[in-house]
Amino acid sequence: MYSPFHKFPTKKSPTRKKESGKSSNNKHTTQNQHSSQKHTNERRPIQSLASTYSQSPNPSHKQSNKRRKGATKAKPTQKTASMKAYRRKRLRLGRATVVLIIAVLLGVGVKWMTVSGFSQLYDHIRADVMQITAKSQPLPYTTGAYLALTRQIELYLQKQPGTFGVSGVDLVTGAQFGWQAHNSFNTAQTLALPVVIDLYSQIANRQLSPQTIVHVQNTDKQAGSGFIGGLPQGTALTVTQLAHAAIVNGDVVAINMLIRKLGPAEIDSFMSSVGSHETLSDPKLLTPYDLTLYLSYLYSMNQAHPHSLAPLMMDLTQVQQNNRIAAGLSTHSKILQVTGDWPNEFHNAAIFQVHHHPIALAICSNGVTETQANLIEAHISHLVEQFVSQPPN
């Protein structure tokens, strides 16, 4: 009979049931527990298809797995090879592009140099290269080696009449030789050498135009060699025409006109900068050493500015004096020279090549006849050429 005060048993968890199953209070609960345990022991775990497939002892499954793994490994190798081929193709294309650009630039550069005065650029580069190679060449001739030549010249001149001064410079090594090189002599027409070199120095530096006009004045006229003194006053001549007359003809009026144009102070400053101690003040004097200083400066300036100095170098080759220094040299030697004559004084200064070896030589004499001066100067130049032709041991 239902009673509101009836107390129903509380439900217990399965674990509680297991623990309470050991007691003997409720038989029904115990039987149910035993039956549930029996059913639980009879159950088997459900195996998935994947686990069954993986545990299958069939060897064909293993081989298929290996093939699949090999296929997966082969795919990255093929991709890498295609990437390498693409990179190589791109590298070859880049190289071809660079070569094409360089070729186009070279073609444009050559065309530009052809149009814009390539010859002048070539002259400047050639002069620079010649200067560098000349300085980098071995020094076959030193000042010590030239002492033997100096001794030969001294022994020879001691037996000759008159007074002589000899100065020489090896334009490659800078070695000097000579005898009584600092003896003073009258300048005569050799005064044209420092004046004209100063003129062309200003032309090379674009301080003066080669077409500058100078008019003849009566104050310029002086007795001496040359033809400009016979021209009427006011005759217009360019500075290069005056330089040609001063060097080739020894025209004293042309020398005076150039001195007036350039200014005595300017010429004195130039001579001092080169290393000379002489000036244009009377009496006008020079030494053989001064002449070689001017020739050395001229040689260096021509290496740097061959185009600007070409007219002057041509004038020096046209000097007609074959009886002095030129007479002692071989017939094939090219000589650039300047001469000067004064009563009983005969001077000659020249640059010549001995087996492509440039030498500057200046010889001044006093107290001798022109015939004697010619023979003595020719013999000295022969000694120099013979010495340079046979390098010292």
Q: Is the pLDDT of residue 167 over 60?
A: yes
Per the prediction, the chain carries an average pLDDT of: 81
pLDDT digits (tens, 9 = 90+) for 56-77: 455 455 455 555 554 444 455 6
Q: Is the pLDDT of residue 113 over 50?
A: yes
3-state helix, strand, coil in the chain (%, to 5): 60, 10, 30
Q: How far is it, in rounded angstroms, from Cα 13 to Cα 306? A: 120
Three-class SS of residue 344?
Answer: coil
pLDDT digits (tens, 9 = 90+) for 12-71: 555 444 444 444 444 444 445 545 544 444 545 444 444 444 444 554 554 555 555 544
Average pLDDT over residues 274-280: 91
* Domains located in the chain, CATH noted: 140-389 (3.40.710.10)
Cα–chain-centroid distance for residue 116? 21
Residue spans of beta strands (DSSP E) within 247-323: 285-286
Two tokens at 271? 């001579």
pLDDT digits (tens, 9 = 90+) for 130-143: 655 554 444 457 77
